[in-house]
Structure 1
């Protein structure tokens, strides 16, 4: 089972670091690709593939963390609406009115 990253910020930072690493490895590989042969080429390719797989894994973990946070927010919102239906209607109507006024002034 995948290890869950505790915060979205931490996951985003790790993902950005991995993507920067993938880009750096790709640049090195492209620049030296014509001069690499045999084992050097194989090692460079393997390193690039490992970095790419790591970035994909981090992206999946980040996506899972975002989905989980969204589910939690939806659950809390649903509970609030069920516990406070009239207040929720008033809030929704107020937001709708404000948006309508803002749009009509353009």
Structure 2
């Protein structure tokens, strides 16, 4: 894999991660807005539901932060591993890249 391929892979991982995190944040923001809007309902059942929902929301926010950290750490480890392998085995990496390119070329040309 070349540096360009590694950079492209890093960008794709970051893009996917960002989309996932943005979607989760949007859902959490919507839930927080609902929680604020429902604060006017003073019934006991609504208060209990709001409290449970608030706890769940706080847990989701905490889990999202942990997920972000985990994804980032794993992404870095994977990229470092590939980078290290390519530097330690340049000819193997070139052979693998050429083989994959050849196979993709054959598959694409058949369609």
Q: Normalized against structure 2, the TM-score is what?
A: 0.57
- Corresponding position of 2:58: 53
| Cα distance in 2, alignment partners of residues 82 and 94 from structure 1 | 18
Residue 104 of structure 1 is matched in structure 2 by: 109
Determine which structure has greater relative contact order: mean sequence separation of CA pairs < 8 Å that are 6+ residues apart, divided by chain length.
2
2:90 alignment counterpart: 85
Q: Structure 2 CA distance, aligned partners of 1:60 and 1:102?
A: 41
Which has a greater percent of helix? 2
Looking at structure 2, the residues matched to 86 and 51 of structure 1 have their Cα atoms a distance apart, in angstroms, of 52
In the TM superposition, residue 74 of structure 1 has moved relative to its aligned partner by 0.6
Instruction: Trace 1:35-54 onto structure 2 (pairs within 5 A).
Output: 37-54=42-59
Aligned-CA RMSD value = 2.1
Q: How many residues align?
A: 73
TM-score normalised over the length of structure 1: 0.60
1:8: which partner in 2?
none
Give how far 1:72 is off: 0.5
Asked if 1:73 is matched to 2:78, the reply is yes
- Alignment gaps of 5+ in structure 2: 1-30, 32-37
Unaligned runs of 5+ in 1: 1-25, 27-32
Distance 1:98 1:71 in 2: 28
